[in-house]
Structure 1
Amino acid sequence: MAPRKKPYHWIAKEIESLDPNTDYEKIFRLSASYGGNDFINNLVYTLIFPNFVVTEHGARAVWREDGGKVLGAATARVEQTETYNATWWYYGPSDPRTQKSVEEINKMHTHWAKQYPGDFSHNEDYIYTLAFSAIFMHRLRLRLGLSGVSEKVQIASYIFMGEMVKLFYSEGGVPLHGWPESWDGLITYCEEFENRSREGTEQGHLIASTIYDHFAFRWFPPQLHWVGRAIPTSLALPTTLRAHRIDPPNHLCRVLVVFFLGCFIWLAEILLPDPQTAFLADYEQMSKGEQIERKKEHRQIDGAFSPYFATRHQNQWSGCPYHAGLKLRSKVVE
């Protein structure tokens, strides 16, 4: 039997029928797992990840010596991150698939901690990442002049991420601690972390530049790369741009990006029907052939992006060994 078609605007109604204290996984799934596509997911990644490498140790472990996957396999890295997050947000912290996925991340961190000892031992990095993820959409909507997420979604998001905290551990298998006591506490925690004075690093600058350039390179033609870069940098946290020593677009550009994106989302929520299926469900139903073609396309993008980025940036920041070390790369880092 074909699945029953859901009403035109069904997500908000279903969320309203649920109890956030007990149904927090389902509410978070409904609020975070529907409506995505490759463009939107890439934009979300571009807006989120630079915030997590504002510290010296965070940037060092990601850029490493040669850019790592963030440069050599930029699209594949976006896909990997999207898949991990989509799995967690859709299935929830109580599901074995989420627990297995998080453990893969823990093991990955353990592996790299052997090469960068101490860099994965900072408890606040993990807490900030999960707190930021909980409040991201709420803050973005407010930034765009829209209403924030509902109180039920706030409660559900707070509990959901609090349960996710229990699945991660820092270097040496140390359990995470210090989860804020409320939704407002999450916002306060993030703002305090973000507003600290930071000198920034060459590696952090390169990571953020790579991520912003990659979004533009992947989704916009060459003559509009400046537009593709202006969209995320107009929406990025000013503190993050300062830490990475990246100049924001001019004021008019930022105003236009916020205005048009806010209007687009507002009209879409009014005029378009809610998605019938979640992004992860569609992704998991791809055929083997579709998966192969998808990976082939990503390799082609990455093979072209690395030399493009190196050409743009290798002569910048005189005296920086990481900029000087950029070479024209023609193959994806495995």
Structure 2
Amino acid sequence: MNEAPKKWIRQEIESLDPETDYVRIWRLSSSYGLNEFMSGLSYVTTFQNFVVTDWGSEAIWRDDGGKVLKRPFGRVEQTEGANFIWWFYGPHDERTKKSVDAINRLHAYWAKKLPGRFSYNDDYVYVAAYTATSMHRFRLALGLPGFLEKEKFAAHKFWGEMTKLFVAENNTPLHGYPDDFDGLLAFCERYEHEPRPRVERVNLIVSAFHEQFVFRFFPKELHWLGHQLLRALSLPTTLETAQIDPPLPAAKQLLPKLLGFILSYQEEFADDPQSSYLESLEQLSPEQKVERRAEMVELDKAFGPYFKQIVHDDAKFSGCPFHEALKASTPATGTTSAGAVTEMERTSVPHAH
């Protein structure tokens, strides 16, 4: 007779007081059960929403693509590493404060080069509001139960404390954080539906995020499927602003349900993990860490030429300066360090409307 799966996370959450244990509740809700694939999926479907403004895309893409093209996988590792520290240790831990302080200093550095781009208070509040509600919204989109009431309370309080650590341009404290979890949801809806110009840089950044994910996790023959999955899980407003086609109706209908079924099955029949994703990374041997870094370096080397070859001939952006710059910097051989670009890969790229 099979043993029942060892379940402890939900049981512990239900035993905690969200008023005093909100850091622990958030940690249990967000830091366990991740893997490379789900972490990468979360990164793309989350961070694409933070670059949809003209000024935000300028700060990320700059003139030549920045780390989006030169160190895309290293950038993901760096960003995720900071997030995992915040989620696990919480806003009052010195490791979190040190990490956020480094982010504030980085923003201050770039604000001197791009004055005004880091001054929009609502952009920062949206990052906190979206992050606090993202797992709840994601689960609902997959047909799974959302957060418990105490998880909602804990998420709201946790990210309210996190916003106190960040500053906008010129060391300006943030303001306007919503009063409760429903307020966070309303703030996100309002922010996401604000009219925005369709900027070429936004298309390039979001397209690069999408290509980066399928480049790593899908064989060439299934790149189209990776793109459809990402589009099916993306906010329609983000796709529209980024000038990326929506998912096919069948993909929008079926892929979230399929992913929801897989996660539901794991939650029902698999043991809860004993270690968080951050702890599992920290427990890698020195050799495994070296191997992981080497893999990121190789992916970084391969992706820039690969991405340029795919997107620089997009007729819908013919004559646009950033696409033209990519075209000028792309070898004329038709191949990249990742190999020849097939017709299937070309047609799987997110296109502009």
1:59 to 37, 40, 57: 57
Q: Distance between the aligned counterparts of 1:145 and 1:98, measured in 2?
A: 33
Give the TM-score of the pair, scaled to structure 2: 0.90
Q: Distance between the aligned counterparts of 1:105 and 1:315, measured in 2?
A: 35
Cα contact 1:217–1:228 (8 A) shared by 2: no
Question: Which residue is 1:283 aligned to?
Answer: 281
Q: How many aligned positions are there?
A: 325
Q: Deviations over 1:119-162 (max 9, x none)?
A: 00111000000100000010011111111111111000000000
Cα contact 2:228–2:248 (8 A) shared by 1: no
Q: Given residue 328 of structure 1, which amino acid in structure 2 is its aligned partner?
A: T
Question: Which residue is 1:149 aligned to?
Answer: 147
Cα contact 1:35–1:275 (8 A) shared by 2: yes
Deviation (angstroms), 1:265 = 1.0
Mean Cα displacement is larger for which, 234-243 or 277-286? 277-286
Pairing 1:173–2:171 present: yes
Deviation (angstroms), 1:288 = 2.7
Deviation (angstroms), 1:287 = 2.9
Q: Distance between the aligned counterparts of 2:227 and 2:71, measured in 1?
A: 19
Question: Which residue is 1:324 aligned to?
Answer: 324
Q: Given residue 74 of structure 1, which amino acid in structure 2 is its aligned partner?
A: P
Deviation (angstroms), 1:266 = 1.1
2:109 to 104, 108, 111: 111
Deviation (angstroms), 1:285 = 2.3
Q: Distance between the aligned counterparts of 1:119 and 1:31, measured in 2?
A: 33
Mean Cα displacement is larger for which, 319-328 or 159-168? 319-328
Q: Distance between the aligned counterparts of 1:241 and 1:29, measured in 2?
A: 30
Identity of aligned residues (%): 48
Q: Distance between the aligned counterparts of 2:238 and 2:249, measured in 1?
A: 17
Pairing 1:32–2:34 present: no
2:140 aligned counterpart, secondary structure: helix
Q: Distance between the aligned counterparts of 2:136 and 2:34, measured in 1?
A: 16
Q: Distance between the aligned counterparts of 2:286 and 2:69, measured in 1?
A: 27
Q: Distance between the aligned counterparts of 1:136 and 1:226, measured in 2?
A: 25
1:268 aligned counterpart, secondary structure: helix
Q: Given residue 10 of structure 2, which amino acid in structure 1 is its aligned partner?
A: A
1:204 to 202, 207, 225: 202
Cα contact 1:306–1:328 (8 A) shared by 2: no
Deviation (angstroms), 1:243 = 0.6
Matches of residues 242-321 of structure 1 in structure 2 within 5 Å?
Answer: 242-316=240-314, 317-321=317-321
Pairing 1:190–2:188 present: yes
Q: Distance between the aligned counterparts of 2:321 and 2:14, measured in 1?
A: 54
Q: Deviations over 1:143-201 (max 9, x none)?
A: 11111111111000000000000000011101111100111000000100001111221
Q: Given residue 229 of structure 1, which amino acid in structure 2 is its aligned partner?
A: H
Q: Given residue 15 of structure 1, which amino acid in structure 2 is its aligned partner?
A: I
Deviation (angstroms), 1:328 = 3.3
Q: Distance between the aligned counterparts of 2:251 and 2:16, measured in 1?
A: 40
Q: Distance between the aligned counterparts of 1:165 and 1:259, measured in 2?
A: 34
Q: Given residue 50 of structure 1, which amino acid in structure 2 is its aligned partner?
A: Q
1:315 aligned counterpart, secondary structure: coil
Q: Distance between the aligned counterparts of 1:200 and 1:111, measured in 2?
A: 27
Q: Distance between the aligned counterparts of 1:328 and 1:214, measured in 2?
A: 18
Q: Given residue 263 of structure 1, which amino acid in structure 2 is its aligned partner?
A: F
Which runs of no fewer than 5 residues in structure 2 stay unpaired? 338-353
